[in-house]
Protein backbone atom coordinates (compact mmCIF):
# COMPACT_ATOMS: atom_id res chain seq x y z
CA UNK A 1 0.00 0.00 0.00
CA UNK A 2 2.85 2.37 0.82
CA UNK A 3 4.55 1.61 -2.49
CA UNK A 4 1.36 2.48 -4.35
CA UNK A 5 1.11 5.75 -2.43
CA UNK A 6 4.75 6.62 -3.26
CA UNK A 7 4.14 5.76 -6.89
CA UNK A 8 1.01 7.98 -6.96
CA UNK A 9 2.88 10.86 -5.35
CA UNK A 10 5.70 10.41 -7.89
CA UNK A 11 3.21 10.40 -10.77
CA UNK A 12 1.55 13.55 -9.45
CA UNK A 13 4.95 15.20 -9.06
CA UNK A 14 5.86 14.29 -12.66
CA UNK A 15 2.52 15.62 -13.90
CA UNK A 16 3.15 18.83 -11.98
CA UNK A 17 6.65 19.12 -13.43
CA UNK A 18 5.44 18.50 -17.00
CA UNK A 19 2.64 21.00 -16.49
CA UNK A 20 5.06 23.64 -15.19
CA UNK A 21 7.42 23.11 -18.13
CA UNK A 22 4.46 23.33 -20.55
CA UNK A 23 3.35 26.63 -18.98
CA UNK A 24 6.84 28.09 -19.34
CA UNK A 25 7.15 26.86 -22.93
CA UNK A 26 3.78 28.20 -24.05
CA UNK A 27 4.41 31.52 -22.33
CA UNK A 28 7.69 31.77 -24.22
CA UNK A 29 5.94 30.94 -27.52
CA UNK A 30 3.25 33.53 -26.79
CA UNK A 31 5.93 36.18 -26.25
CA UNK A 32 7.64 35.26 -29.51
CA UNK A 33 4.34 35.48 -31.38
CA UNK A 34 3.55 38.82 -29.73
CA UNK A 35 6.96 40.19 -30.76
CA UNK A 36 6.36 39.03 -34.34
CA UNK A 37 2.92 40.65 -34.37
CA UNK A 38 4.45 43.92 -33.17
CA UNK A 39 7.10 43.77 -35.90
CA UNK A 40 4.46 43.09 -38.55
CA UNK A 41 2.33 45.98 -37.29
CA UNK A 42 5.35 48.29 -37.43
CA UNK A 43 6.06 47.16 -40.98
CA UNK A 44 2.41 47.71 -41.91
CA UNK A 45 2.52 51.21 -40.44
CA UNK A 46 5.63 51.97 -42.51
CA UNK A 47 3.97 50.61 -45.67
CA UNK A 48 0.94 52.80 -45.02
CA UNK A 49 3.18 55.85 -44.60
CA UNK A 50 4.99 55.02 -47.85
CA UNK A 51 1.64 54.47 -49.60
CA UNK A 52 0.40 57.87 -48.44
CA UNK A 53 3.59 59.55 -49.65
CA UNK A 54 3.29 57.80 -53.01
CA UNK A 55 -0.35 58.85 -53.38
CA UNK A 56 0.59 62.44 -52.54
CA UNK A 57 3.44 62.38 -55.05
CA UNK A 58 1.17 60.97 -57.78
CA UNK A 59 -1.42 63.64 -57.08
CA UNK A 60 1.23 66.35 -57.26
CA UNK A 61 2.69 65.00 -60.49
CA UNK A 62 -0.71 64.78 -62.15
CA UNK A 63 -1.60 68.38 -61.48
CA UNK A 64 -1.90 70.38 -64.69
CA UNK A 65 0.38 73.16 -63.48
CA UNK A 66 3.17 70.74 -62.68
CA UNK A 67 2.90 69.04 -66.07
CA UNK A 68 2.82 72.35 -67.88
CA UNK A 69 5.81 73.76 -65.99
CA UNK A 70 7.78 70.54 -66.60
CA UNK A 71 6.97 70.75 -70.31
CA UNK A 72 8.04 74.39 -70.46
CA UNK A 73 11.13 74.26 -68.26
CA UNK A 74 12.59 70.78 -68.63
CA UNK A 75 11.53 69.83 -72.16
CA UNK A 76 11.60 73.40 -73.57
CA UNK A 77 8.23 72.92 -75.23
CA UNK A 78 6.20 75.93 -76.32
CA UNK A 79 2.49 76.35 -76.97
CA UNK A 80 1.84 76.54 -80.74
CA UNK A 81 0.24 79.64 -82.18
CA UNK A 82 -3.47 79.50 -82.86
CA UNK A 83 -2.98 79.54 -86.62
CA UNK A 84 -0.49 76.64 -86.42
CA UNK A 85 -3.03 74.30 -84.80
CA UNK A 86 -4.71 71.87 -87.20
CA UNK A 87 -8.09 70.43 -86.18
CA UNK A 88 -9.11 67.08 -87.61
CA UNK A 89 -12.75 66.14 -87.89
CA UNK A 90 -13.72 62.48 -87.64
Q: Tens of pLDDT along the chain (90 residues)?
A: 788 889 999 999 999 999 999 999 999 999 999 999 999 999 999 999 999 999 998 888 777 777 788 888 888 888 888 888 888 888
Is 60:66 a contact under the CB 8 Å cutoff? yes
Contacts of residue 67, defined as CB under 8 A and 6 or more positions apart, other chains included, come to: 61
Total number of residues shown for the chain: 90
- CA dihedral 44→46→47→51, nearest 10 degrees, is 140
Amino acid sequence: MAALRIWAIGALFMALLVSAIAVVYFQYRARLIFIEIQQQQNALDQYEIDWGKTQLEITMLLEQNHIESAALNQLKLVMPKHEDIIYLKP
